[in-house]
Amino acid sequence: MKRWAALLTVIVVGALLLWAEGDMPAFGDPDAPAHAHVAPRYIEEGAEETGAANLVSAILADFRSFDTLGEITVIFTAGVSVILLLRRGERL
């Protein structure tokens, strides 16, 4: 019975993901909502506002710094978790 419940769950979640994918913009679409608000401002004013020579570094370090810090925290936590799981049998 558990196998059927798991299979049904996978099928339902897969169907929902495929249905939701239909509402997403095409890959690389410049008119997608994610690109409509801040991307032009980053490109036009990023270098002069931050003083950085590289636009990508300016965006990651100045405009998106809290987001980048969060991503680094998640990666660090995952790495520490893997190390702890692999050393689970050993004494610390």
The domain locations on the chain are 1-28, 37-92
Q: Considering the entire predicted model, what is its pTM?
A: 0.46
Q: 66 pLDDT exceeds 90?
A: no
Q: 92 pLDDT exceeds 60?
A: no
Q: Which amino acid is at 2?
A: K
DSSP state of 75: H
First to last CA, the chain: 41
Report the C-alpha gap between 20 and 23 in whole angstroms.
Answer: 6
Report the C-alpha gap between 70 and 92 in whole angstroms.
Answer: 28
Q: Write out pLDDT tens, residues 6-50.
A: 999 999 999 999 999 988 888 888 888 877 777 778 888 888 888
pLDDT on residue 27:
86
Is 51 within 8 Å of 72 (Cβ atoms)? no
Report the C-alpha gap between 92 and 82 in whole angstroms.
Answer: 15
